[in-house]
Amino acid sequence: MLIKYKKSYEKFAMGLLSFMPNEKEIKVLRNTMKNYETDENLQLFLWKDEEITGLIGIEVSQHEIEIQHISVNPSFRKQGIGKTMVRAIKEQYPDKELKANEFTESFLDRCEEV
């Protein structure tokens, strides 16, 4: 189930974000978290079944949604969680076009192949 980020999930979110290649440095990671907490156009969601296993961050504009970050706990990869998160975002914003940034483009392309 997709759940909206709140401050009490910060450690989970930072841990999952740290799997993104561009989020390895702690300063960058903290800045990313601050942006999600302060910019109303940026939305961060966690994926939770029995435990939190994934994260997807988006930027919402008038006509589109751009996936900024997507990450799945390595222990839960290859189970379709990333694709399920993308589908859930599409369902939540059905009137907007879904796009990727340079860091999420290859993953989104793989999602659309299925």
Res 113 pLDDT > 70: no
**Regarding beta strands 52-60 and 42-48, do their DSSP bridges make them parallel or antiparallel, or are they unpaired?**
antiparallel
**Mind listing the pLDDT tens digit for each residue in 61-105?**
999 999 999 999 999 999 999 999 999 999 999 999 999 999 888
Residue 95 three-state SS = coil
Q: How confident is the model at residue 110 (pLDDT cuts 50, 70, 90)?
A: confident
Task: Indicate the average pLDDT of the chain.
Answer: 92
Q: In this predicted structure, what is the pLDDT of residue 22?
A: 84
pLDDT beyond 70 at 2: yes
**H or E stretch including 113?**
helix 105-113
Q: Which helix (H) or strand (E) holds 26?
A: helix 26-38
User: Domains in the chain, ordered, with CATH?
Assistant: 2-113 (3.40.630.30)
